[in-house]
Structure 1
C-alpha cells in the first residue's frame, strides 16, 4: 500500500497551497509595446492599479486611446481547469472594448480537441461592445438568431462553463477599471434601462421649455474662453470684446415627448423615434453664436470632434444622425448649425441622471508649424426623474445565469437521480427481478450516455480535482464549480452516495464513458467475443496503476506543472464524451482502443487506469454501509457471485471489495433470486428458507 500512501502527499499540500499568493499578470511595458505599436504610445503604469494607459496624439497633445490591463490582476476567476484565464483587455474612454486577447489559459476543452481557435474567435466578439452593458453568453449562433448584439456573445459548443467564466472575467476586470478610471461601474448601473415615458406629453412653447430647463441654453464669452487658455502659448489671442459671445448652444434631449414633440413637431418626432430604435437616445445641439461647434470640415454621420457627452466621468459615444437639416424646429429655436446626436443603447446612458455637454474650443498658433491648443468647456444638463421609467434588473451573482439557462437539463438529471435512488435502495423491488431490471439498467445507461454525457456535457472528470488543487495554489476560489451546474449537481449526488454505498453509484450508473463501454459490450454480445481472464496476481498489480496515475496528475497540479494537463489525457472522457470523438487521430484512437479493450477485458480502463475512479475509491473508504447482502454459504462452498462478477470485486471468501465494486447489482439480483442463488436452490429442495446477511468488506 506504499503507492496509495504516496497518493495522499499532493492532497496534503492543498492547505499549504491555499495560503500562497495568487498568480499575477505577465505583461510589462515591452510586451505591451509589441501589442500596441506606434503611432500608439504606452504610458506609465498606474501606481494604484495594474492598468497601462495607451496614448495617441491628438491636436498637439496626447490623449488616452485605451486603458490596457490583464484580467488575472483584477478578476482572477478560476476556469474549468482551476486557474484563472488571463486576458489582455483594452478599454476605451467611452467604456467600449477596443481589444480583447487571450494571453494564457488552462481550459481543458481548448487545450486539445476544439483547439484554441474557437476561444480566440469567442473573445474577438467583445471588440466594439460596451462594458456599460451586461453581456451574457448565448448558445452558438445566438446573435445570428436575432439576439441583441450588444447584450449577447455567441457561445461555443461543448465549452459552456469555460466561456461563461471567461465572460465573467472580462466584465469583472473591466468594471474594476471603469470604476477607477472612467467613473462608472457600480453594480446597479450594469444593465440599467432608463426610457422616456412615451405617453407623457404637455404642449409647451420654446420659452416654457427654457424656463423648465427642459431645454438648456449655454453661452461662452470671449472672456470665459480667454480664462480657459490662460497660461498656454495662445493666451491673449481672442478676437472681439471680452463680453462678446463666442459660443451659444441650445441643448435638448429629444426622446421625452414634452421636449422632442414640441421642438420638432409630432410628425418629425415620430419619424425620429422610429429611426432611433429601442434603447437609443437623441440629443439636439443647435448653435446660435459665431463659433460653429461642428467645425468647418464636419462630415454628416460622423462623431463630432468638438462636441462630446459625458456622464459620471465617462465619455459617451454620440454620433451625428445625418438626417435632413432643413425645417429643424419650432418658433424661437435658433437657426444656426445643428446636429442630432445619437447615443446607442449599449452606451449605458442614463437620461434621467445629470450629464454634461462638453465643447472643445481650439486655438492655433503659427503659420508654418501650426500649433493647436484645445480646451474644453462644459454645460450641465439634467431632467426631472418623473419624465422617465427606470428598470434595474436584479441579475444576482454571475453564475446564476448558468443555472437559469440549464434549468431543463438540471430538472431531468435530478429526476433521473430521484428514480435511481429507490431502485438501488429497495433490493427486493426491481433489482430482484432480472427480467425487468436488465432492461431498466440498459435504458438508464443509455440516458447517462446520450443525455448526461453528450447533451448536458456533465461527464465528471479528474480535471475537477486538478482544478481544486490549482485553485488552492493560485486563486483560493472555488466559484468555478458553479459555472457548470449539471456537473456540480452530479458531484453533490456522487459525494453523498460515496458515504452510503461507495464509488459504484457513479462508476456503474452515472459515468457516460463507463456507460459507453457497457453498452458497447452489450451490443457486441452476438459476436460472442471471449473475455480474457486476468490472472489474480497481475489483476491486483494492475489495479494499483490508477492510483499512480492519480498521484502523478495531482502532484503535477500541486507543483503548477503543465504536465498535469498532459497526464489528465489518460482519461478519454474529453475525447469520447465532451468532444464526441471530434478530435485529432491519436486521441480518438486511444479512446476507441479502450472501448475495444473493454470487449476483451471488461471495463479494463475503469478497473486499471481511471484516475477519477481511483479518487472515488479512496473517498469510498468513508462508506458507512456494507450494503451488499451475503449468506454463510457465500465463498464456501458457493462461488457463483464471484464467478459472475465481471469486475472481480468479490473475493474467494465471498466478501465484497467495495473499492472495486461498480454497483451493477448482479450479485444482489442473484442472492434474491431463488432460481439462481445456489444456497436457496439447495435449501428449497431440503424444505428450508435462507436469509441473506451483510458481510464486512475485506
Structure 2
C-alpha cells in the first residue's frame, strides 16, 4: 500500500493532465435542430430559420393571410450557461413573445442531484410551467408569501418553489432570466448596455433629514423649465410651425416646468414621503427596482388627458445608452387609502397644485444609477381638421445621480443576493452555532474539565447539526460540491452556482479556515448532519447498553483506505462522464437521509438504512471507512499547522487507556493521535484532565513522583 501523500500526489498529476486535455474541448452549446423546435411548437406556430447573429428561432403564426411574429424560441445554454448545483448548467427551451412575456419553458436537460432519482423530475417540470404568462417586466418572486395587496400589484409575479430544492430552483430562475434578458436586450429593446446583474446599486442606508430646497441644491431633485419660444423653435420647418397660437402670443411664458427625483434613493424618498408611504414603497418593489417621481406644471401635461393609471405613459419616456427603458405608472388605485392620505408628497407650498406621478422601473430592465437618466418629453402638434397631420418633437430631460448615493457595479452583484437576504434568520442562527463551536474548540477545557459537561453538550450540538443544519437549512456538504467545482472548472464555467446556497457557502468557508487550525475533525465530528445522525444512533445504543463490534487495529487500518479509493474513483468518473457522476455519487446517503429525509424511491432508502445499520455494529462505520467526502476532508486536513490535542510522555508508554477508549480508533498504540482520522469528540481530553481516569494522574495522586509533562 503506497503512502497517502505519494498516492495523492500521483492522483493530482493525473487529474491535471486530464484537465488540460478537457479544457481544449468545446464548451456547452445548444442541441436542438430546427425540426426539434418545429416538433415543440406545432401549428398554428411557424418556426423560422435560426438567427445567424443570435441563436434564436423566430416564431410566427398564421392569421388569415398574414404571418406576424409572435415570439422567439431559444436554448438557455446558448445565452447564459449558469452552472447548476452540481456544476452543470440547465438547458431549457424558452419561448417568449415580442413583449417579453413567457409563452412556455421546457426542461431539455439538467444534472440537479435533488431531481435525479431524488424528488424526481415532476416537481421541476411543474415549477417550469408556472412561468407561462409571466413577463420579464415583472419581478419574479419565488416562495414569497405576498399580502393581498402585493398579489394585486401586477408589477410582481409569485412562483411556488420546490421544498428541499431551494438552491436548484433559484439557479433555474437565474438561468431563465439571464438567457431571456440576453434575447430581450438584443431583440426587444431592453437596456442593451446594462446587464441587470452588473449594475450599480443605490445605497439603502444613506439618509439624513433634508428640506426640498436642500434636495434641489444637492442635485437629488432636478428642475427643468421650457418657454413657449423654446418649444416653437423645435417645430420650425415642420407642419407644426406656427400652430400654437397661445404660445406665439406669449413667447416668454412658461410652457412647462418639471421636477424629476428618484424616490428609491432613501435621501429622497424618506424626505418626500410620509413613513407609511415609504414603507409601502419598500414593500411593493424589489431590491433593484427604482421609482421615479415626476412633478409638472404649465400649459402642457406630461402624461396627457387620456392617461390610464398603471399603464406606460405616452408623453414621457426614459432612455439609457440610447435604448428605451420601460417606465410604468406606480399604480396605487387599489390602495386609495394610501393614495389619498399617506401617499401625499411633501411638497413646498408653491408646488401644492402641481401634477405629479410616480413611475416604476423594474430591476430586470437594467437601469443603472451610475449612468445618466435620459428622459424625453414628447410634444405633439397637429395641422388640419378632418384628417390632421401630426408631428412630434422631444424635449430632452437629462438627470444624474451623484456617486455618493450608489455603490459602483461589481462582478458579484448577482441575483443570488436576494436569496441571501431572504435567509437572514437562517444565516444568523448558523453563524451563532459556528461561533459557539469555535469557542468550544478554542477553550475546550470548559467542557473537558467535567465529563458531564461534554456528555450533555456534544449530543445537543449534534442535534442542532442534524435538525437545523441538515434537515431544516439543507446545509449538508457533499462530494457533489467537489465534483461540481471540478466539472465547472474543466468546462471553464464560473463557480457562482455555489452562491445560491448560503448555508453551503458559509460552512465550506468555515471548514476551509479550520483546516489550518484543527484539521478534518471539525466538520466530520461536529458539522456533518449524517455523521451526527450516526453518532446519535451510536449514543442511543450505548444508553441501551447494546454492544458494538471493535474492529482489530490491523483491519481498521486497512478499511480506512477504502474511502480514499472511493474518492479517487468518483473524481475519475467526474472528469470523464457527467451523467455517470450523478450515479456514482449516490454512494453517499446524504441526499436520501438528510436532503430528502428518506422521501425517496426504495433502493436509495434501503442503501441509507444499510449504512445507518452499519453504525449499529461498527461505530460510525460509514464515516470511517466509506465516505469520499471524509477522505477529501482528511487530505485537506493535512493543512493543519499544529497538533492541538494535549498528550503526555506517558501516553502510549505505558498508558493505553485513550487508545482503548477511542471509538474512532484514531489513537495509535504509541499514544500519537492520527489527526487524519480524529473526529474531535474530546473524550480523550476528558481522560487527560481526569485524575480518576488518566493513569499518570492517578499514580501521581497516590504519591508516586512521576514527572508530568505535556507535549505538543
- 1:215-364 correspondence to structure 2 within 5 Å: 276=309, 280-281=311-312, 353-354=375-376
Output one character per residue of 1:175-199: Cα deviation in whole Å (capped at 9) or x when no partner. 1111211121447696999xxxxxx
Corresponding residue of 1:83: 88
Corresponding residue of 2:340: none
Corresponding residue of 1:226: none
Q: Which one of 190, 202, 211 corresponds to residue 184 of structure 1?
A: 190
Corresponding residue of 1:122: 127
- Give the drift of 1:83: 0.9
- DSSP-derived class of the 1:66 partner: strand
Q: Which one of 681, 684, 704 corresponds to residue 664 of structure 1?
A: 681
CA distance in 1, matches of 2:623, 2:536: 14
CA gap of 1:501–1:356, structure 2 versus 1, over 3 A, is same
- 1:598-617 correspondence to structure 2 within 5 Å: 598-617=615-634
CA gap of 1:568–1:615, structure 2 versus 1, over 3 A, is same
Cα contact 2:100–2:184 (8 A) shared by 1: yes
CA distance in 2, matches of 1:55, 1:435: 75
Cα contact 2:94–2:105 (8 A) shared by 1: yes
CA gap of 1:124–1:694, structure 2 versus 1, over 3 A, is farther
CA distance in 1, matches of 2:673, 2:656: 12
- Give the drift of 1:519: 1.5
Q: Which one of 652, 664, 686 corresponds to residue 647 of structure 1?
A: 664
CA distance in 2, matches of 1:24, 1:143: 41
**Which has the higher mean CA deviation after the structures are superposed, 426-435 or 68-77?**
426-435
Corresponding residue of 2:433: 416
CA distance in 2, matches of 1:145, 1:138: 17
CA distance in 2, matches of 1:505, 1:349: 43
Corresponding residue of 1:113: 118
Q: Which one of 447, 460, 485 corresponds to residue 477 of structure 2?
A: 460
Q: Which one of 26, 34, 49 corresponds to residue 44 of structure 1?
A: 49
Output one character per residue of 1:230-267: Cα deviation in whole Å (capped at 9) or x when no partner. xxxxxxxxxxxxxxxxxxxxxxxxx989799999x99x
1:623 is aligned to 2:640: yes
- Give the drift of 1:379: 7.1
CA distance in 1, matches of 2:40, 2:435: 53
CA distance in 1, matches of 2:706, 2:615: 39
- Give the drift of 1:103: 0.7
Query: In terms of Rg, which structure is larger?
Result: 1
Corresponding residue of 1:95: 100
* TM-score normalised per structure 1: 0.73
CA distance in 2, matches of 1:499, 1:671: 24
- Give the drift of 1:594: 2.0
Cα contact 2:97–2:103 (8 A) shared by 1: yes
- Give the drift of 1:537: 3.0
- Give the drift of 1:540: 2.4
- Give the drift of 1:655: 1.2
Output one character per residue of 1:511-547: Cα deviation in whole Å (capped at 9) or x when no partner. 0111111112223333221101223333223212211
CA gap of 1:158–1:516, structure 2 versus 1, over 3 A, is same
Corresponding residue of 2:142: 137
1:167 is aligned to 2:173: yes
CA gap of 1:155–1:439, structure 2 versus 1, over 3 A, is same
Corresponding residue of 2:288: none
- Give the drift of 1:151: 3.9
Cα contact 2:624–2:677 (8 A) shared by 1: yes
**Could you list the runs of 5+ residues in structure 2 that have no partner in the other structure?**
202-220, 222-227, 241-292, 329-358, 368-372, 380-388
- DSSP-derived class of the 2:515 partner: helix
Corresponding residue of 1:29: 34
1:597 is aligned to 2:603: no
- Give the drift of 1:501: 1.5
CA distance in 1, matches of 2:391, 2:137: 23
CA gap of 1:259–1:166, structure 2 versus 1, over 3 A, is farther
- Give the drift of 1:212: 9.7
RMSD (Å), alpha carbons:
4.5
- Give the drift of 1:458: 0.7
CA gap of 1:675–1:315, structure 2 versus 1, over 3 A, is closer
CA gap of 1:345–1:493, structure 2 versus 1, over 3 A, is closer
CA distance in 1, matches of 2:182, 2:366: 19
Q: Which one of 480, 487, 490 corresponds to residue 473 of structure 1?
A: 490
Corresponding residue of 2:528: 511
Cα contact 1:78–1:477 (8 A) shared by 2: yes
* TM-score normalised per structure 2: 0.71
Corresponding residue of 1:300: none
**Could you list the runs of 5+ residues in structure 1 that have no partner in the other structure?**
194-199, 201-207, 221-254, 285-308, 319-342, 358-376
CA gap of 1:315–1:497, structure 2 versus 1, over 3 A, is closer
Corresponding residue of 2:386: none
- DSSP-derived class of the 2:136 partner: coil
- Give the drift of 1:385: 5.5
- Give the drift of 1:15: 5.4
Corresponding residue of 1:527: 544
- DSSP-derived class of the 1:472 partner: helix
CA gap of 1:146–1:694, structure 2 versus 1, over 3 A, is farther
- DSSP-derived class of the 1:88 partner: strand
Q: Which has the higher contact order (CA 8 A, sep 6+)?
A: 1
- DSSP-derived class of the 2:58 partner: strand
- Give the drift of 1:429: 2.9
- Give the drift of 1:24: 0.9
CA distance in 2, matches of 1:59, 1:260: 48
Corresponding residue of 2:224: none
Cα contact 2:325–2:365 (8 A) shared by 1: no
Output one character per residue of 1:140-197: Cα deviation in whole Å (capped at 9) or x when no partner. x66899555634432222111111111111111111111211121447696999xxxx
CA distance in 2, matches of 1:159, 1:682: 58
Cα contact 1:635–1:653 (8 A) shared by 2: yes
Output one character per residue of 1:31-71: Cα deviation in whole Å (capped at 9) or x when no partner. 11111112322212121221121222346343322111111
- DSSP-derived class of the 2:605 partner: helix
